[in-house]
C-alpha cells in the first residue's frame, strides 16, 4: 500500500474497533460485499465516490481521506514470503496446491488464467464439532490466452 493508504487503513481499523463495527456492517451500509469493503479499507481497491462517501460517513473520515479511498492502489505490496502467520498460510497453500490448481483449471478450461479482477470471494464460519472452520469461496472469470 502507498503511505497514505497504509496510514488510512490503520486509522480505519482503529475507528472500526472503537465504533464496534464489523466489515459486514460497513459493507451492508454501502451496498458492497464485506470482502471488497475490507480490501478497500486496507488499501487494495479503489472506491467509486459514493462508496467512499458512505465509508467516510460511517467512520467519520474527512473529505481528503474519502478521496484517498478513491485513488487507484498499488496492489499486493506485501513482503515475500509473507511474515504474518495467517497470511503465510495462504502463501503455503499456493506453494503446496498451486501446481494442482493450475493443472486442474487447465484440464477443465484450457490454457488460461482465473481472473483476480473479475472476481468474487466470500468468507464464512463453518461450524464443526472438532472446531469451527474457515470457508473461503473464490470465483474468478476464466480468461483464455489469446493466440495471435
User: Tens digit of pLDDT for each residue in 123-135?
Assistant: 999 999 999 999 9
Question: Any catalytic annotation for residue 89?
Answer: yes
Catalytic choice (75, 89, 133, 135): 89
For 50, half-sphere exposure in the C-beta direction (CA atoms, 13 angstrom radius) is 4
Q: What is the DSSP letter of 117?
A: E
CA distance 66 to 53: 6
| Domain 3-70, architecture per CATH | Orthogonal Bundle (1.10)
Residue 46 annotated to the active site: no
What fold, for 85-144?
A: Cyanate Lyase; Chain: A, domain 2 (3.30.1160)
115 is catalytic: yes
Residue ranges covered by each domain of the chain: 3-70, 85-144
Question: How many angstroms separate the CA atoms of 60 and 42, rounded?
Answer: 16
1 pLDDT band (50/70/90 cuts)? Answer: very low
Q: Is residue 104 scored above 90 in pLDDT?
A: yes
pLDDT single digits (tens) 54-95: 999 999 999 999 999 999 998 887 788 888 899 999 999 999
Amino acid at each position: 500500500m502507498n503511505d497514505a493508504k497504509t496510514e488510512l487503513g490503520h486509522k480505519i481499523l482503529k475507528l472500526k474497533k472503537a465504533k464496534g463495527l464489523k466489515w459486514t456492517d460497513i459493507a451492508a451500509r454501502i451496498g458492497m460485499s464485506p470482502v471488497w469493503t475490507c480490501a478497500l479499507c486496507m488499501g487494495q481497491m479503489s472506491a467509486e465516490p459514493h462508496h467512499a462517501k458512505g465509508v467516510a460517513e460511517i467512520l467519520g473520515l474527512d473529505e481528503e481521506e474519502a478521496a484517498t479511498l478513491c485513488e487507484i492502489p498499488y496492489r499486493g505490496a506485501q513482503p515475500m514470503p509473507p511474515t504474518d502467520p495467517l497470511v503465510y498460510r495462504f502463501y503455503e497453500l499456493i506453494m503446496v496446491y498451486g501446481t494442482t490448481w493450475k493443472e486442474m483449471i487447465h484440464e477443465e478450461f484450457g490454457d488460461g488464467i482465473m481472473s483476480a479482477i473479475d472476481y468474487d470471494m466470500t468468507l464464512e464460519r463453518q461450524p464443526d464439532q472438532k472446531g469451527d472452520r474457515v470457508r473461503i469461496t473464490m470465483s474468478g472469470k476464466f480468461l483464455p490466452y489469446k493466440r495471435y
